[in-house]
Homo-oligomer: A and B are copies of this chain.
Amino acid sequence: MIEAFSFVPPLRRAGLNPVNLLMMEILLSQIAALVQGNVVGDPNKLIRGVAPFETAHEDEITLAGQAKFLKKMDETRAGAVIVASGVEGFSHNLLQVDNPPVAFAQVMEFFHPPAVPEAVIDPRAVIGRDFVCGADVAIGPLAVVGDRVTLGDRVWLFPGVIIGNDVVIGDDTIIYPNVTVYSRCRIGQRVIIHAGTVIGSDGFGFAPNGDQYYKIPHTGSVQIDDDVEIGANNTIDRGTFGKTWVRRGVKTDNLVHIAHNVTVGENSVLVAQVGISGSVTIGKNAILAGQAGIAGHLRIGDRATVGPQCGVGKSVPDGAVVIGSPEMPHKKWFRLQRIVAQLPELKKRLEALEKKLQQMEQRNGKGF
Footprint of B on A, CB under 8 Å?
A: 1-2, 5-7, 51-52, 55, 99, 101-102, 104-106, 108-109, 111-112, 114-115, 124, 126, 128-129, 140-142, 144, 146-147, 158-160, 162, 164-165, 176-178, 180, 182-183, 192, 194-198, 201-202, 204, 206-209, 211-217, 219, 227, 229, 231-235, 237, 241-242, 249, 251, 253-255, 257, 259, 266-267, 269, 271-273, 275, 277, 284-285, 290-291, 293, 295, 308-309, 311, 313, 325-326, 328, 335-337, 339-344, 346-347, 349-350, 353-354, 356-357, 360, 363, 368
Chain B residue, CB-CB nearest to A335: B344
Quick one: given A144-B5, A217-B112, A273-B275, are A295 and B308 in contact (CB under 8 Å)? yes
Quick one: given A147-B2, A160-B162, A336-B341, are A177 and B176 in contact (CB under 8 Å)? no
Q: Taking each of A144, A165, A349, which has the highest tally of chain B beta carbons within 10 Å of its own beta carbon?
A: A144
- B residues near A104, Cβ cutoff 8 Å: 207, 216
Quick one: given A114-B217, A162-B160, A272-B259, are A233 and B196 in contact (CB under 8 Å)? yes
Bound together, the chains give a CA A182 to CA B192 distance in angstroms of 14
Quick one: given A277-B290, A308-B295, A308-B311, are A213 and B124 in contact (CB under 8 Å)? no
Bound together, the chains give a CA A197 to CA B219 distance in angstroms of 22
Contact of A213 among B141, B249, B344 (CB under 8 A): B249
Closest Cβ of chain B to A52, distance in Å, is 5
> Which A-B residue pairs are the 6 nearest by beta carbons?
A101-B207, A235-B254, A180-B195, A162-B177, A198-B232, A201-B232
Contact of A147 among B5, B55, B197, B360 (CB under 8 A): B5
- B residues near A6, Cβ cutoff 8 Å: 128-129, 146-147, 165
Chain B residue, CB-CB nearest to A358: B356
- B residues near A353, Cβ cutoff 8 Å: 350, 353-354, 357
Chain B residue, CB-CB nearest to A200: B195
Q: Is the CB of B337 within 8 A of A340?
A: no
- B residues near A206, Cβ cutoff 8 Å: 229, 251, 269
Q: Is the CB of A255 within 8 A of B255?
A: yes
Q: Is the CB of B126 within 8 A of A142?
A: yes
Contact of A2 among B51, B128, B216, B342 (CB under 8 A): B128
Q: Is the CB of B340 within 8 A of A343?
A: yes
Bound together, the chains give a CA A160 to CA B144 distance in angstroms of 8
Q: Is the CB of A108 within 8 A of B219?
A: yes
Q: Is the CB of B124 within 8 A of A196?
A: no
- B residues near A341, Cβ cutoff 8 Å: 328, 336
- B residues near A253, Cβ cutoff 8 Å: 204, 257, 259
